[in-house]
Amino acid sequence: MQNPPRAVERPQTLESFGDRREDPYFYFRDREDPAVMAYIQAENAYAAAEMGQWGGLEEEIYQDMLGRIEQTDMSVPSRFEGYFYYTRTEEGKQYSILARKKGTIDGEEEVLLDSNELARGRKFFSLGLTAMSPDQMQLAYATDTTGYREYKLEIRDLRTGGNLADVIEKVASVVWAEDGETLFYSREQERTKRSYQVWRHRVGRPVEEDVLVYEESDERFRVGIGKTLSKGYLVLTASSGKTSEARVLDARRPEGEFRLVLPRREGISYGLTHHGWHFYLRINDTARDFRVARMQVEGGELEEVIAPAAGQYVQGMVHLERHAVYLMRLEGLPSLRVVEMGTGAWHEIAFEEAAYSLGFGSNAEFHTDLIRFQYSSMVTPQSTFDYNLVSRERVLLKQQKVLGGYDAGAYAVERTAAESVDGVRVPMTIAYRKGLARDGSGRALLYGYGSYAIAIDPGFSASRLALLDRGFAYAIAHIRGGTDLGYSWYEDGKLLRKKNTFSDFIACAEKLVKEGYAAPERLVIEGASAGGLLVGAVMNERPELFGAVIAGVPFVDVISTLEDKSIPLSTTDIDEFGDPEREEFYHYMKTYSPYDNVGEREYPALYIYTSLNDSQVGYWEPVKWAAKLRKHQRGARKILLQVNLEAGHGGASGRYDRLRELARCYAFAIAETGAAPVDRRRA
């Protein structure tokens, strides 16, 4: 049996506000240091050896999950300007193919981009943003070939199939002006990866002639560029974690100047769209959970369209020619509200399940009475609908096929709540196979995130069946820090209230144990990125409550990372976690930062995965966290670290490779809890 690696310590003292922190693994951020790469290789070898003792479990899980999905598949075509656009996959190929048909879906296929060809010979490939020119004859697209999320923009002439000479590096967003000859794009800084500039480019002209139209000087803010669905205006946004503003330009006059809509006010965020003589704004100036207001295109006062209300969160909006559709959250559950633009009359689109995921689909046309949305739940596969806003007819266009004889009736979903330490009730959604015993003998996996205003809705996953069929309950904790119960729910889990996120998650875990879903030694918790911060923090606070932990690309060295403003996200994350250069935030962060709170404890089993080219969370954070944990581990449970040497924050780029990474996580959960053999009765 291979011994776990032990990292060499190099004394390093970090001091702030008279407080000293010892970090003997600080040097891990130097990837040019041979000792660093040698240690990473040793960790990978150790993890591989330990996983080899699972007796083929990982491959079994992978084949189980692969057998559930339709490998040759096609998305629902989206109609735009006389064409039907879609993506499709082919069995055995890692990447999707972007294609279209002219006039009718039964027409001849035109392949626009085959990512399998673009990725040929590369260990990593990601197709990022795409933007079609107004005449549908030029496609701007961006690709990343390192995993560092550093995208290169190119333009394909769809008449010839060849690319133009125009190549632009470090592009974060792009949009065409309506003249079909001008592109606007935002560009990132070299080191921090903050999108801080917007440029104007004339197709066919040298990039050196591009014109800078906006530069953001406040390091907390990122900029982006887009276009309203009406095609009337280009919209340039600048936003931080709590403040935003927008500038607009007539999309037919790209040589003009962007005009500020509402100046930024600290703590006020808004987004806008265009309809007729008005801009419609989703804004939180009078209520934290947003309202909808409109103003004349030329400027003026705001006129309220949807007033704020208790338990109501305005999450998004789409304005069509005759209707507006708003994505709302009502007492935590997503809903769609349809409003007639002419009369103001409105109705809700109803959904019956107790917990579900709902969002807008591809809505590319303005002159239509159809709205496309996507719906799923933990037992209902992903479903794409077109809804007629006049007749109110709902048409199911496609439901995800789940191979292997899937029977939704074999599974159950519950919506419950746990009481956090401050008395706040925290929602939790739980799925399991019917017949699951509630005597503590079962297994459970609890997933959480709780940051950046991201709601974790209980959607469907065919891969998750590999756990449910082996006796697991799968639970999602809708904790503060996300917008699961609105924007105020997010604000109550950030900055100096960040620890509410962790308390909420612990409360959900305790409820699972109390109600007999799993004993602590058979309870697995999982989180990635900021979710890795979550599981790292609660693992320090309550190590006895969990049997195993899965931490993906975990943000665990909070203070040191946010102190270094050259690290990507460090400046923009100040509005999320606070600034450690301010004493109040420094001391608060130190109470929960996972790396700084590792101590002599009996930790649960831990599987950490990360990537060498991660631009969001530096690889050194999880690597040195693993080294420190192993030094202080007082129990017998193993700590495994796996570093993908070819990928970035999202892991492997190919769909089969990503599935293998997920299979590894599930195999770890099963191996560490001794889950029951697969049960596919009625499935």
Rounded CA gap, 545 and 549, in Å?
A: 11
CB neighbours (10 Å) of residue 101? 16
651 phi, psi to nearest 5 deg: 80, -160
Rounded CA gap, 530 and 130, in Å?
A: 27
44 phi, psi to nearest 5 deg: -60, -40
Q: Report which residue type is found at 69.
A: I
* C-beta separation of 286 from 269 below 8 A: no
Rounded CA gap, 462 and 379, in Å?
A: 9
CB neighbours (10 Å) of residue 661? 16
On the 0-12 / 13-18 / 19+ scale of CB atoms within 10 A, 252 is middle
On the 0-12 / 13-18 / 19+ scale of CB atoms within 10 A, 28 is buried
Residue position matching structure tokens 């947003």: 290
Tell me, yes or no, if 78 is annotated catalytic. Answer: no
CA distances from 649 to 31, 73, 450, 457, 653 (A): 17, 26, 18, 21, 10
Sequence-distant (6+) residues with CB within 8 A of 121 are none
CA distances from 143 to 113, 118, 119, 310, 653 (A): 11, 9, 10, 43, 12
Q: Report which residue type is found at 15.
A: E
According to DSSP, residue 482 is labeled B
Q: Report which residue type is found at 166.
A: D
Concatenating the DSSP letter of every residue in 431-448 gives: EEETT---SS-SEEEEE-
Catalytic residue of the set 529, 560, 570, 653: 529
Sequence-distant (6+) residues with CB within 8 A of 480 are 424, 426, 450, 489, 490, 492, 493, 497, 500, 501, 504
Cα–chain-centroid distance for residue 109? Answer: 32
Catalytic residue of the set 210, 469, 504, 614: 614
Tell me, yes or no, if 632 is annotated catalytic. Answer: no
Which of 524, 482, 522 has its CA nearest to residue 504?
482
Catalytic residue of the set 323, 557, 649, 653: 649
CB neighbours (10 Å) of residue 122? 12
Query: Rg of the chain's alpha carbons, rounded to an integer?
Result: 25
Q: Give the per-residue SS3 of 79-106.
A: EECCEEEEEEECCCCCCCEEEEEECCCC
Helix (H, G, I), strand (E, B) or coil at 121: coil
Residue position matching structure tokens 């887009």: 226
Tell me, yes or no, if 488 is annotated catalytic. Answer: no
- The residues annotated as belonging to the active site are 529, 614, 649
